[in-house]
Amino acid sequence: MPVWMLLTALLLALPAYALSPVAARHGMVASSEPLASQAGVEILQAGGNAVDAAVAVGFVLAVTFPQAGNLGGGGFMLIRMANGDAVVVDYREQAPAAASRTMYQDAQGNLIPDATSAGARAAGIPGTAMGLALAEEKYGKLGLKRVMAPAIRLAREGFPVSYSLAQALHSERARLEKYDDSRRIFLHDGHLYEPGATFLQPELARTLAEIAQRGPRAFYRGVGTKAFEATMRKYNGLISRQDLKQYQAKLRPPLVGRFRGYDILSVPPPSSGGTMLIEMLNVLEPLDLGTPNSYASIHLIAETMRRAYADRATYLGDADFVSVPVAGLTSPRYAARLREAILQSSPDAPVRAGEPQAFESGATTHFSVVDAEGNAVANTYTLNGWFGCGVTVEGAGFLLNNEMDDFAAKPGQPNMFGLVQGEANAIAPHKRPLSSMTPTIVTRDGKVRLVLGSPGGGTIINIVLQVLLNVLIYKMDILQAVTSPRFHDQWMPDYLTLERVGFSSDTLENLQQAGYPLSFRDSLGDCEAIEIDPASGWRFGASDPRADGKAVGY
């Protein structure tokens, strides 16, 4: 049995009083990698705010968590300042100008195996350097040089390889060894890193130092563009100097929903996360969900998930390119119609996308940060697959994403996560692919209550939903909420996925008898979450025991 399963089973078996989230009076950082969390707290203690700390964490993860932390990917940062101002920094990747609708199909219209997931042609234009720098410029206090110092230090001086990183590098050897710098840097020229070995990344240190000194133009317009062009030529990629020059991170208003007296802040398109989260919470709002992880609870939540994912497949895409009926999908009146259908149907009844227009009024990682003033950041960013497309930008030291797989390479056909996607998410030049990233902040009476998010591909939205429900409905503390077993239903393929550990045999039997086809996974996601006690103001952090992260406070 994997270590995480043993740990989770142990935690679930312990009495409630034995579960203890990390507690802190002032600030808290929860991320998937301990050195990154420690760097965030270092910045908070140096006088930085939550945005300074989040930017520091993002750059450190690019060094210490190369499976998903990145300079060569993109994501979404949700910022909520203590005065109530809130914004989303959208630094999602874009399709290159040379991209085309059918670029991953053969002459017969069939999808070319692995074309969207491996090699330089699978990469979109990265957004991370621009997005983190924009967040620091607009909302930080200390400046790029200071907040990037921990990342530069760790890349230059090295850090001890963790067991999980060593295992990840071993498992992805076949992908990485195809590309010269990936083999040299991440596979140690074929002498694979063992746990405890020091991992030095001098090229990445130079790239980070250039960004710290000159800002994101060093990445998008400076010497970095030469490295990009050379790598694209060598591995037949599409990203051009002009693609890099035109890229812009965007500031967008967050989506805001209401659920049982709480305000739910999350991200808008091109992420589907916020739209679907609010849609599902609207459906569940008046329902009695019963006991957590019981048949009654799973049935109502899973049927809600199925309908939301059917809508995702039909309607969601980059709202800068297609019309997305966000207002209809998040309308309480639309939710009432979906809820009625759930209560009147059985699990084996077919589900299709609804009609929200009638209700219109016109390898990923997550980290959460809260500072002493009450500013909060939820950030999810990604390379998409583990170590992205496998290609390292030569001389620059960082891996590229394989985000082109998040488009509908052929509408109606599933991507690498099994998600079926429609015409709204077809490939187009400079379009941003649809995402499931769901960084979320929950407030009540003007104060932050929860900050959370998770990796997990198409499962992300449902993971965030379940952790949120565990706290707000089932009154679990944040560690119990994060540790609790999870399930996932994404409409197509038509089965209910559950974690192997944590569900009773009676519940599983009832689900099967009701008509749910069941599948099982070792784990779903890696939620990094912070809860603030409304009475005392204490911060409580939880890093998911399914992974090797850490919550650190002060």
Known catalytic residues are 364
**Cα separations in angstroms, 118 against 178, 266, 398, 454, 480:** 10, 31, 16, 24, 37
The answer to whether residues 183 and 190 touch, using CB atoms and an 8 Å cutoff, is: yes
**3-class secondary structure for 220-274?**
HCCHHHHHHHHHHHHHCCCCCHHHHHHCCCEEECCEEEEECCEEEEECCCCECHH
Residue the block writes with tokens 């409905």: 473
Secondary structure percentages of the chain, helix, strand, coil, to 5: 40, 20, 40
Q: How far apart are CA 149 and CA 304, in angstroms?
A: 45
* Cis-peptide into 21, omega within 30 deg: no
CB atoms within 10 A of CB 513: 10
Phi/psi of residue 244, nearest 5 degrees: -65, -40
- CA nearest to 477, candidates 30, 19, 7: 19
User: Which residues make Cβ contacts (< 8 Å) with residue 153, sequence separation at least 6?
Assistant: none
- Three-class SS state of 343: helix
Structure tokens at 390: 């496998």
Structure tokens at 480: 């119990």
Half-sphere exposure of 119 (CA within 13 A, CB side): 13
The answer to whether residues 371 and 351 touch, using CB atoms and an 8 Å cutoff, is: no
User: Which residues make Cβ contacts (< 8 Å) with residue 499, sequence separation at least 6?
Assistant: 8, 485, 486, 487, 520, 521, 522, 523, 524
Say what angle helices 34-45 and 50-64 make with each other, to 10 degrees: 150
In our burial notation (b when 16+ CB lie closer than 10 A, e otherwise), range 125-158 reads: bbbbbbbbbbbbeebbebebebbbbbbbbbbbeb
